[in-house]
Structure 1
Amino acid sequence: MKDALLYLLDDQPRAVAQLKKTFETMTQDLFPVNVGQVYQTVQRLERDGLVVVAHDEPDPATGRPVSVYTTTPPGHDAAQAWLSSPSIQLATARDELVMKVTLTIESGGDLPAVIDQERAAVLNAIRQAMVQRSTATDLTSAVRLTAEKRIYDLEAIARWLDFIDNAWAQHAAGGKGASQ
């Protein structure tokens, strides 16, 4: 979230409340944040020299002055670097499903039952994402984009489960499928 907020401040100077509202509006409330979380993030960005107070302006609700933040040159560079950097999960990131399957295999657990349970959950999640996708009329809305990515991610998990299921079946039949 830090990088997304920095990017929004680089796009246009904003007060913390405006930043929160803009983020939630642009993401169609798919990623709600509380104002305290946004405020702490902006404070860290300021501490790190990525944003500064551009000016103060009266809060429309209270009339009290609020700080409007903008990016510094290093903040601009960081926002642009975030935008131009791939968002691929690190290969070293812990994957709960891989852990579950690995531990089930290594402990002699019931792998087919685990695979069946996971596959059923994946198919159910795909159905839910398809319903969410059908509610989005704009092809580029945050709701539609999120649903589409979720479907693609879940389809990849389903294919991986099929691979594990086939490899395990070969292994159980005396082949070397599980180690290939």
Structure 2
Amino acid sequence: MSVRNALLALVAQQPAGVYRLKQMFEEQTCGAWPLNIGQVYQTMQRLERDGQVVSHAETNAGRDSEVFELTDAGRDVLTAWWSTPVPREHPERDELVMKLAVAAADPTVDVEAMIQTQRRSTLGSLRDVTRLKASADEGELAWKLILERHIFDLEAELNWLDHIESGAVSEAARRAAFAAAKGRLMNWAQAEAGISERAGVR
């Protein structure tokens, strides 16, 4: 998550100092991404350095001695953030994908059992998250969004496991059969070599 852009969005809602921004951030995200005051302070200093906010002294802002306001440059950055999709980085580095790919190439691994084990685990997680969502308060919007996203991710994983099960199991079975046939061929070749060697000795 871009904390930098999120803080810009909060300043766009209302001018505020670092303590108020921290409070607003945690209120609007239901504490899902805790921030320490030092992180907020350093981020706001960078935003001011880059011309995206300006600060001025404030005597009626509680614990805050200065308040930040959005500049035109900051508004441009924020507008670009709203309209830019969030990239999904390194999807190929999924451990489950790597695990199944390697397992399917190893005739000694029971791929079907592995998929069933993963499915049971994912179903258990889905039940747990669904219960959490059912018990969430109506006002906890950010928390409900997080849980709903997790539910969709878990459901997608279950669909993917169903989709790849037959193919992965078939591939593993094919490789196992090939390995078994190769083993029988090697045993036959060794036996033939032994017979030829004995015949030569005689």
TM over 0.5: yes
- Please identify which structure carries the higher strand content: 1
Give per-residue Cα distances to partners, 1:50-107, cap 9 Å, x unaligned. 222144335525xxx6221122211111112212222352465733333333344456
Larger radius of gyration: 2
Match of 1:33 among 27, 32, 35: 35
Using the alignment, how far apart are the partners of 1:87 and 1:37 within structure 2? 22
**Aligned match of 1:51:** 53
Residue 73 of structure 2 is aligned to residue 70 of structure 1: no
CA contact (8 A) 2:107 2:172 kept: no
- Structure 1 runs of 4+ with >6 Å offset: none
Displacement after TM superposition at 1:169 (Å): 1.5
SS in 2 for 1:2: helix
Alpha carbons of 1:76 and 1:108: their partners in 2 closer, same or farther (altered >3 Å)?
A: farther
Alpha carbons of 1:80 and 1:171: their partners in 2 closer, same or farther (altered >3 Å)?
A: same
Residue 59 of structure 2 is aligned to residue 60 of structure 1: no
Displacement after TM superposition at 1:171 (Å): 1.4
Residue 167 of structure 2 is aligned to residue 164 of structure 1: no
Q: Show structure 2 runs of 5+ residues with no match.
A: 176-202
For normalisation by structure 1, the TM-score amounts to 0.79
Let me know the Cα RMSD of the aligned residues.
2.7
Alpha carbons of 1:172 and 1:53: their partners in 2 closer, same or farther (altered >3 Å)?
A: same
**Aligned match of 1:23:** 25
SS in 1 for 2:54: strand
CA contact (8 A) 1:57 1:68 kept: no
Using the alignment, how far apart are the partners of 2:47 and 2:60 within structure 1? 22
**Aligned match of 1:129:** 129
Q: Show structure 1 runs of 5+ residues with no match.
A: 176-180
The size of the alignment, in residue pairs, is 172
Using the alignment, how far apart are the partners of 1:109 and 1:10 within structure 2? 59
CA contact (8 A) 1:55 1:69 kept: no
For normalisation by structure 2, the TM-score amounts to 0.72
Give per-residue Cα distances to partners, 1:107-139, cap 9 Å, x unaligned. 667344543343233222211211111112428
- Please identify which structure carries the higher helix content: 2
Give per-residue Cα distances to partners, 1:20-65, cap 9 Å, x unaligned. 110100111122111112222222222222222144335525xxx6
Provide the identity percentage: 37
Alpha carbons of 1:48 and 1:122: their partners in 2 closer, same or farther (altered >3 Å)?
A: farther
